[in-house]
Amino acid sequence: MANPKVAFFKFSSCAGCLLSVLNIEPVLLDVLGVIDIEYFIMAKRDNHEGPYTIGFIEGAVTTPKEALELKKIREECAILVAFGNCACTGGVPSIKNWSGMTQEQLTKTVYAENINDPMLTSIPAKGIDFYVKTDAYLRGCAVDVGEMVELIKRALKGENPLFRPHSVCNECKLKENVCLLVSEGKPCMGSVSAAGCGALCPSLNRQCEGCRGPANDCNAASLAKTFMEDLGLSKDDVVRKFRKYAGNTPEFSKGAEAAL
Amino acid sequence: MLVEAFVLPKADLDGFAAKLKAGYELIGPVAKGPEFVFAPIDSAADLRLDYDTTILPPHKKYLAPPKETLFGFSGPAAKTGEPAPAGKQVLFGVHACDINGMLSLDKVFLGTYPDPYYKARRENTVIVGLNCTEPCANGFCSSFNTGPGMDTGFDLSLTDLGDKYLVCVGSDAGKALTAGLAPATDADRIAKSKALRSAQEKIKRHIDTDNLGEFLHQNVENPVWSDLKERCLACGSCTNVCPTCFCFAVKDQVDLTLAAGERPRDWDSCQYLEFSRVAADHVFRPDRAARIKQRLYHKLTYFAQQFDGSPGCVGCGRCATYCVAAIDPVQVVADLRDNPGAESAVKLYTPPAKKVTPETNPWEPLPAKILGIKQQNYDNKTYTFAFTDPAVQEKYTYDNGVFNEISIFGIGEVPISISSCADVKGSFDHTIRAVGNVTNALDKLQVGDIVGIRGPYGFGWPVEEMKGKNVLVVVGGVGLAPLLGTIKHIANRRDEYGALEILVGARSPKELLFTDEYEELRKIPNSRLLLTVDNTAGLEWGHNIGVVTTLFDKMSSKPDNTIMITCGPDIMMRFAVRGLLGRGWSPEQIYVSLERRMSCGIKKCGNCQIGPIFVCQDGPVFKLADIQGLPEAAL
């Protein structure tokens, strides 16, 4: 039986998630034994058109052209995966969505007053599921490649991967890390952010920034209140925290709104 | 009798630790930044016996670790048998709260269906306790009599008496470790009592435990819970650090061959939305306030109801310490006591006393072959199974109404009720809708394929109590599957039972199950079969239209000398039960079959709880009178 065909695509993003695909050395050859990578501009010269079994999309959609391309890709992929935080929620590019400026003002501020290039047609940054049906999400900035391998395995078996969307605190406590928020007073977002990263940042004594987006049914408004009332963060700092990686999500919106 | 006691000069602690290390892995409290954790130690110099508390409770970390592999598999066969022998270890310096937490976990893991993995570790672990002469800041152990000193649960206990430890013997294994120590004097014993009395007086945090269970049952709707919902982050830290929280999730892992892998269990938390999630994304406890309530009620009363009065909270204070939102059980109970709901008569739950001790590993599914597959309707199939080992199949018996756990290795397990009648020997049936990962995989299997099955689990329909009485069966949709065996049981012993009336409801004629058996059912003497659908979906339909309770006006059954048994969606059973109660039926004559996420089936994983009930082992069939009025049992 032929291996399933897999494609990697990139929209508005830093390419870090795609780069991390190449970092799975211990299992890379095993993975390549069960899938054929048909399209991966960053990693290979010889790329082929669809249809594909699995399409991984990195990046947010920030132009009408990207939105059209995405819809075409959707038609070519049996399983479409939002690959990394930008594709899941709009990610870091979505910070611009709250600049308060019109898109025309933004263009003129970022580029030049008199510029009139039809290429520059920025629209609010969104995750891919704003435009197309999305079958699975690999969260994180960057993605956890272990989860990517897990998703490939589950897809090959025809299963829903059912990643458990619980909090970073869960994985952090199991490592018996000293709690950065409770013990050290740092504004760690682990309690409302989705795990799967193995509590990577808190384990290195860095507070969680919420790059994997909200945990299931989390209570960002309560954490925003703790940040302001107990840790003394300013309103602006709290808003920026909740809009850094997943401001488009309803859960983190509530965190930002609680501060406003 | 006076407890045997010795003295250990602090100067000799290193030598004592070295002796322990010769025979055991020595695990004790060490510093981690400003906090403490239990970890393997090299010498007594690493020990921080002045620790206040640790992030994870030592007994939970080392007896029921956060992640544990139950068994490996390759293809459709499980590789189980006995668990690997556990290494000998000493947990050194365990506080009284955690020792009591361990005794509570013993009830969970060593009670019915003893867990061989926990048991192996427990039997190879020596507990050296440490009485708290300086109580920690957040503890409230004295409220539950679980500290600051310990009476039981240790092999040795230490008490700091300044320049020496008083060493009390709690077991023969402990006694063996005291060789060479000088016996304690009366003065030493008195010093211990004084130190512990003084420690007890220093504890400033208390929970008013007076009638706490009844009080909490009266305060299910207290506004305190909606206030906590606004604060709780649903992060689950409280359950991870809790010395008595035991719930876990089981999810198969496969390697890239997709055929071989292992079945691990990981600590889970009732604070997570996905904890009570089943296939088709149905979540049984979606409300965060209900989840917080479940945890605190479980700690403060349900645990004791479920496990012989053992404490579910030992007052260690960890959940309050590590809560970002500073939710503190001491404060929650005080707030409830300040604004109590109306006093009402409440009853606590008494689970059926039944202890099962299987000869083999209770986690081990045995290979069973698919003998037949029959399409029931557009999305249900009935599978006929028999264990591949004829001796296993020969011994396999079940009560009508109970369930098995069906495994597809590499994907997982699902609890499915048995739809055949126990009178049939040599095989058994499951009627299954392809709706989740496991059932979708099952849907692709063919006759002759092998799956893993373990069971049967739980209590079935009360066929003994029904003898000599009329029986009313009320069915909603797929609820006929667990009832069909009992209907046939009655048909096979027709003279032992009175009139039989079966009311079957479904959304539309397309959803009806076992339609080709209706003719047989109609032939049962002294019986009636009434059918209804919510809508006909454009199909020809010569029966009633309406929800199943509309048949109550047409049925012949009367409350006198009749037992009603029902299975269907929660909402349907709720209306059926209320409909009958309104017609003069009593909760003593109504039996319901409940469904939750019965992930393990053996009262271990905790996923299937409804208030104080474990659906898997206390049910799935319940007498309404036994559960009516319990929190969450909204029938």
Q: B47-59, pLDDT tens digit by residue?
A: 999 999 999 999 9
B31 touches chain A (CB under 8 A): no
Distance from CA of B434 to the nearest CA of A (A): 12
Res. A207 pLDDT band, cuts 50 70 90: very high
Of B67, B251, B322, the CB nearest to A179: B322
Give the model's pLDDT for residue A120: 74
Nearest to B55 among A27, A149, A173 (CB): A173
**Nearest residue to A88 (alpha-carbon basis) of A197, A248, A254:** A248
Span B348-372, mean pLDDT?
A: 93
Residue range B464-488, pLDDT digits in tens: 999 999 999 999 999 999 999 999 9
Please name the residue of chain B whose CA is at the shortest distance from the CA of residue A152. B256
CA distance A193 to chain B (A): 9
Looking at residues A83-87, what average pLDDT do you find? Answer: 98
CA distance A110 to chain B (A): 38
pLDDT cut 90: percent of chain A above it:
81
pLDDT-based confidence at residue A7 (cuts at 50, 70, 90): very high
Spatial separation of the C-alpha atoms in residues A200 and A174, rounded to whole Å: 12
pLDDT band, residue A227 (cuts 50/70/90): very high
CA distances to B58, B384, B513, B524, B528 from B517, in Å: 57, 16, 9, 11, 14
User: Which range, of A233-242, B320-329, B352-361, B484-493, averages the lowest pLDDT?
Assistant: B352-361
pLDDT of residue A106: 81
Q: Does B137 touch chain A (CB under 8 A)?
A: no
pLDDT of residue A245: 97
pLDDT recorded at residue B259:
86
Q: What is the pLDDT of residues B612-628, one digit of tens each?
A: 999 999 999 999 999 99
Q: What is the pLDDT of residue B1?
A: 62
pLDDT-derived band of residue A1, with 50, 70 and 90 as boundaries? low
What integer pLDDT is reported at residue B86 of this predicted model?
Answer: 76
CA atoms of B384 and B419, how far apart (whole Å): 10
Residue B2: pLDDT band with limits 50, 70, 90: confident
Q: What percent of chain B has pLDDT over 90?
A: 92
CA separation for the pair B83, B214 (Å, rounded): 41
Question: What pTM value is reported for the model?
Answer: 0.94
Cβ-based neighbours of A84, under 8 Å, separated by 6 or more:
A13, A16, A17, A58, A59, A91, A138, A139, A140, A141, A142, A143
Query: Which residues of chain A have a CB within 8 Å of the CB of B33?
Result: 178, 183
Mutate to test the interface with A, among B283, B324, B408, B413 (most CBs of A within 10 A): B324
Number of CB pairs < 8 Å for A and B? Answer: 121
Tell me, yes or no, if B349 comes closer than 8 A to chain A by beta carbon.
no
Separation CA B200–CA B329 (nearest Å): 19
Question: Which of A191, A205, A207, A242 should we substitute to test contact with B (largest number of B Cβ atoms within 10 Å)?
Answer: A191
Cα(A125)–Cα(B391) distance, integer angstroms: 64
Q: What is the pLDDT of residues B366-377, one digit of tens each?
A: 999 999 999 999
- Smallest Cβ–Cβ distance between A153 and the set B230, B254, B440 belongs to B254
Which chain B residues contact residue A217 at CB under 8 A?
234, 272-273, 286, 288
- Cα distance between residue B631 and residue A191, in whole Å: 28
Can you tell me the distance from the alpha carbon of B306 to that of B312, in angstroms, rounded to the nearest whole number? Answer: 10
Say if A235 is an interface residue toward chain B (CB within 8 Å): no
Which residues of chain A make contact with B34, given a CB cutoff of 8 A? 178, 183
Maximal CA-CA distance, chain B:
92
Closest-CA residue in chain A for B410?
A157
Q: Which of A3, A6, A176, A180 to mutate to test the interface with B (most CBs of B within 10 A)?
A: A176
Say if residue B148 is preceded by a cis peptide, omega within 30 of 0. Answer: yes
| CA distances (Å), origin B563, targets B380, B531, B588 | 29, 20, 9
Separation of alpha carbons B566 and B504, rounded Å: 10
- The identity of residue A13, as a single letter, is S
- What pLDDT is recorded for position B81? 63
Q: Which residues of A touch B241 (CB under 8 A)?
A: 173
CA pair distance B207, B331, nearest whole angstrom: 8
Residues in B 486-545 with any Cβ partner in A closer than 8 A: none
Mean pLDDT lowest among B148-152, B254-258, B443-447, B601-605: B254-258
For residue A142, whether the previous peptide bond is cis, meaning omega lies within 30 degrees of 0, is yes
- Per-residue confidence (pLDDT) for residue A102, from 0 to 100: 83
pLDDT at A26: 86
pLDDT tens across A19-45, in order?
Answer: 999 988 888 888 999 999 999 999 999
- If pLDDT is split at 50, 70 and 90, which confidence band does B580 have? very high
Tell me: pLDDT of B15 over 90.
Answer: yes
Which residues of chain A have a CB within 8 Å of the CB of B323?
182
For residue B620, is the peptide bond before it cis, meaning its omega torsion is within 30 degrees of 0? yes
Which member of A149, A178, A192 has the closest CB to residue B35?
A: A178
pLDDT at B93 over 70: yes
Does B634 touch chain A if contact means CB atoms closer than 8 Å? Answer: no
- The answer to whether ipTM exceeds 0.85 is yes
Domains belonging to chain B, first-starting first, are: 5-202 (no CATH), 217-338 (no CATH), 366-457 (2.40.30.10), 470-593 (3.40.50.80)
Q: Does B233 touch chain A (CB under 8 A)?
A: yes
pLDDT band (50, 70, 90) for residue B496: very high
| Residue B82 pLDDT exceeds 70 | no
Q: Which residues of A touch B251 (CB under 8 A)?
A: 162
Q: Which range has the worst mean pLDDT, A156-170, B24-38, B216-230, B534-548? A: A156-170
Chain A residues close to B230, C-beta within 8 Å: 219, 221-222
Residue B343 has pLDDT above 90, yes or no: no
- What rounded mean pLDDT belongs to chain B? 95
Q: Do B251 and A162 touch (CB under 8 A)?
A: yes
* Out of B240, B251, B258, closest to residue A170 by CB: B240
Cβ contact B92:B238 at 8 Å: no
Mean pLDDT, to the nearest integer, of B566-582? 95
* Domains detected in chain A: 5-156 (3.40.50.700), 168-259 (no CATH)
Across the range B481-509, mean pLDDT stands at 96
Residues B437, A169: C-beta atoms closer than 8 Å: no
Closest CA to B581 of B630, B629, B631: B629
Q: How far is A91 from chain B (nearest CA, A)?
A: 22
How many C-beta atoms lie closer than 10 Å to residue B579's C-beta? 18
CB within 8 Å: B323 and A182: yes
Q: Is A186 on the interface with B (CB under 8 A)?
A: no
Please tell me which of the candidates A166, A216, A226 has its beta carbon nearest to residue B325: A226
CB contact under 8 A, B235 and A164: no
Least Cα separation, residue A192 to chain B (angstroms): 6
Tens digits of residue pLDDT in A101-151? 887 788 788 887 777 777 777 889 999 999 999 999 999 999 999 999 999
Residues 161-180 of chain A with CB under 8 A from chain B are 162, 164-167, 169-170, 173-174, 176-179
Interchain contact, B441 vs A31, CB within 8 Å: no
* Residue contact B55–A223, C-beta within 8 A: no
How far CA B95 is from CA of B24, B123, B130, B133, B602, in Å, comes to 20, 19, 5, 10, 30
Find the closest chain B residue to A219 by CA distance: B233
Chain A contact present for B248, CB below 8 A: no
Whether B327 contacts chain A with CB within 8 A: no
CB A93 within 8 A of CB A13: yes
> A167, B234: Cβ pair inside 8 Å?
yes
Q: Determine contact: B236 vs chain A, CB below 8 A.
A: yes
Could you tell me which chain A residue has the CA closest to the CA of B409?
Answer: A157
pLDDT value for B439: 95
CB contact under 8 A, A178 and B324: no
Taking only the tens place, the pLDDT of each residue in B387-440 is 999 999 999 999 999 999 999 999 999 999 999 999 999 999 999 999 999 999
Contact yes or no for A164 and B274 at CB 8 A: yes
The nearest CA of chain B is from the CA of A201 a distance in Å of 16
Of residues A168 and A161, more confidently modeled = A168
